[in-house]
Structure 1
């Protein structure tokens, strides 16, 4: 049975039968019984931490799947590490630490106010045991300038903003459509949906891709209804008009009845296509700048060594969430929420209040060059020498783990690259994590409903360069009422997601009630989100007050 102390109060949350959770606060001599969804059943404790209730009482992963996601064996045939890092069954190697909430007082640094746990980036880089291997881009510091900003709530639920996004973002920006491994053979194609738009992305030659709007040029019927393999043409099921894989017209039945029409339909409208690190991107705007220019040199350099194209897609899960796509994405663009949303992480580590953030135009990174060992919100501060020792320990562990999967290639990486678990974001909605973290996010509107979105999570597992990869994992689809833990292939990441998704539908509802009708983003910890909204306002042509 699951049993956890709360990191602030020390009250014990203990699983009982039928999804119930017993809370015992020995200091106060009080108890309470709750359903894991939060309903009080009995006792003199009448309110409970909803995220702790979920962690202890909700449906769980089976023990063999309750593995920290970066430690998941990449494939069934891969070796399993001796330490897998589950955090819900009371078997962790690290002791649990409870500390009274005191709040993070912050501290003044050369770059402005930071957490009291702040250690400069240079501390980790200067103490790297392989400094010659650190990429130059890792040494850059570029925090979002300015102070806290307020954003109107309208842009998260009003239809007019969704409609603007379709015209100004989804028809105008580079978007990740699929992995190259999803369409491995000539004629394989993937249907990419964004709002009410749909595009066919096809491998038209061994190393060439193309994309077209999924609509017949005759009467507009969709040419394909699902992704597929081995196409030799795109033939409309309605009247039989067809086009070759390169978009050229193949057949116009009864062409005698369409005099003068051939010139207008002889080519499918082409959508810009580009590839990067094993991903296929599209941009419907024929005048768009190149993908490389859009990403910027910092992003290109940051991922150059980790070669995401060599990774194996071991998991791919898409879930409907009852909130706007921006609300869902913002939940993963800051670590500030950890102290409240993921309280179990504080028990055996820091509270992530010292998480670094940098912004570079359309690309931003969060969590770069550091390791969270302190918990200033609980007054638990660790000497920097201890933090450095833990930093080296994590690097050594990851080096040994990766050696089983990529061999001596692991020696090409510095400590900093091996420790890195950076959440990164390319405007508008693509988030491949840095280092060896495996996670890739994508957030999209669910059709034309601004109150719902699709959150996609992939795991790209380490795989040796040149070694044949297994077929990519098929996509699992979860509905709004499904729990992430139903996707056991995500390991403990699924449990983290369920905690996050306990918040964001409630945010969507709360925004419609909130007065005044705006929300705040902080100076530093939410700086990556501020950068997103800066790019968002520029794309939509909005003023700050809109």
Structure 2
């Protein structure tokens, strides 16, 4: 993704852009209205930003481009690409001014307009790929720092199989939610919080999944525990809120208490409970693991270790990135009116970019050349390639152009990251410096790779299969020996708020508004869809196919059930 297209728009009062495919001019009129003029056809029309036609002889317009031009927007000065956002007192944007060709003149470069054509694809040793595809080996062989490339970067793992059909009922019928609670959420490793969210002994956070809730508490400098949030007497929640420096958890109902290690402290009027002490002497525990500065829990006492669950490829992929040392400078959540799987799927492929994020095409790329790999429970999307081609508009970079773009992205990030982490950047290859890989650990934990900062988490909203919780964190690289500022607290938006209310996310908020503009309508559409199944593609939706294969396996479903 080209960072230049996401630079600040402070000086623009009303937005105005050409459409990347039709060339029609979309111009903001204010009050949520957009004028669309197609000079080639000599027609124009006025629309609401949500797609409703108001007047004119042009009666159809691009829904997502209308939203991008006329919809809710970030405040002036906040429309910044998320990897460039200042974090604490570190401002990577300052590095760009000194780079050749990165000045204000570049902001005026022509937009790329080209009519839609079908991507013809091409045969490769791994199968059919986009016409814009270049082998991963091409970039790695031409990396200027080949000796720094981790071995896992050289691995390829396309998921086998053909198109997959999944019944629509899986996304809204309560029986599937009940099966998920038993066979998935009761048995998988799931991210509960960042270690920095509970920095001192006794600090605790409430982690909910469906109707279940756990107290996740720091019990020592490097130790954590997780307990079901229920008193062993009558089941009252022990904690109603996250907390600081607790010495014990005391039930507000009858006063029974346990220390933060889970050991019983007191049964009030214990004379009235003969023989009970041994049975309630310890709070039950979920398994707990720490990785990359995150705290994970697994309610299954027989679960394999987190390391075995994540797999060697995931552990190696992040090994040099010091995720544990990063600073959480943004954390935003929102209830979305759709099933959690549908929302997560919107972030497991780049296939939607040409329709959902048309503004990206103004800088060239439609992301059809994106790579997809599946390693056990961990999937990798976007690994070692470069954006800039638009095969669905007949624009395919030459080998030299692709290599130049690959190296330019590495140089830009290396310059910016030097401001943030100093000479540590000299440990990394071009592939690592340019990487903005979206990854997923089954079922719902999505930390991006490289320097991209983004972490997603998707969960059911209670026991309602028609709603879910989406959270996004931004984790900035941070100097090794510099104290981090306090970790950002979760800020929950109202369900009807646009994501751009969260200005701390930069332009990522605008991307989210487009993605989340689709998914509730997908959820509604599936309830009336005939035939009643969805179809996932061989390659571009292969990570979603892998997810549903694993889902069926864990729930004990046959294919298509």
TM-score of the alignment, normalized to the shorter chain, above 0.5: yes
Q: Quote the offset at 1:80 in angstroms.
A: 3.6
Q: Distance in 2 between matches of 1:153 and 1:414?
A: 44
Matching residue of 2:4 = none
Q: What is the alpha-carbon root mean square deviation over aligned residues?
A: 1.3
| Contact in 2 for aligned 1:3/1:90 (Cα 8 Å) | no
Matching residue of 1:24 = 37
1:314 aligns with 2:329: yes
Superposition pairs of residues 175-190 of structure 1, within 5 angstroms? 175-190=190-205
| Contact in 2 for aligned 1:2/1:90 (Cα 8 Å) | no
1:438 aligns with 2:453: yes
Q: Quote the offset at 1:250 in angstroms.
A: 0.3
Q: Distance in 2 between matches of 1:197 and 1:74?
A: 34
Q: 2:479 aligns with which of 461, 464, 467?
A: 464
1:482 aligns with 2:494: no
1:407 aligns with 2:422: yes
| Contact in 1 for aligned 2:45/2:57 (Cα 8 Å) | yes
1:522 aligns with 2:537: yes
Superposition pairs of residues 340-489 of structure 1, within 5 angstroms? 340-489=355-504
Q: Distance in 1 between matches of 2:236 and 2:354?
A: 50
* Structure 1: segments with no counterpart, 5+ residues: none
1:59 aligns with 2:72: yes
1:117 aligns with 2:132: yes
Q: Quote the offset at 1:95 in angstroms.
A: 2.5
Q: Distance in 2 between matches of 1:245 and 1:292?
A: 26
Secondary structure at 1:407 match in 2: helix
Matching residue of 2:314 = 299
Q: 2:296 aligns with which of 281, 288, 293?
A: 281
Matching residue of 2:233 = 218
What per-residue deviation string (whole Å, max 9, x for no partner) do you get for residues 169-219 of structure 1?
111110000000000000000100110000000001111100000000000
Matching residue of 1:268 = 283
Matching residue of 1:239 = 254
| Contact in 1 for aligned 2:90/2:419 (Cα 8 Å) | no
What per-residue deviation string (whole Å, max 9, x for no partner) do you get for residues 337-374 of structure 1?
00000000011021100000000110000000010111
Q: Distance in 2 between matches of 1:202 and 1:182?
A: 10
| TM-score between the two structures when normalised by the length of structure 1 | 0.98
* Structure 2: segments with no counterpart, 5+ residues: 1-13, 98-103
Q: Quote the offset at 1:82 in angstroms.
A: 5.8
Q: Quote the offset at 1:90 in angstroms.
A: 12
Q: Quote the offset at 1:237 in angstroms.
A: 0.5
| Contact in 2 for aligned 1:242/1:250 (Cα 8 Å) | yes
What per-residue deviation string (whole Å, max 9, x for no partner) do you get for residues 49-93 of structure 1?
110011000121122110000111122454543659xxxx99835
Q: 1:13 aligns with which of 26, 30, 34?
A: 26
| TM-score between the two structures when normalised by the length of structure 2 | 0.95
1:42 aligns with 2:68: no
Q: Distance in 2 between matches of 1:238 and 1:217?
A: 12
Secondary structure at 2:383 match in 1: coil
1:491 aligns with 2:502: no
Matching residue of 1:535 = 550
Q: Quote the offset at 1:408 in angstroms.
A: 0.7
Q: Distance in 2 between matches of 1:59 and 1:138?
A: 39
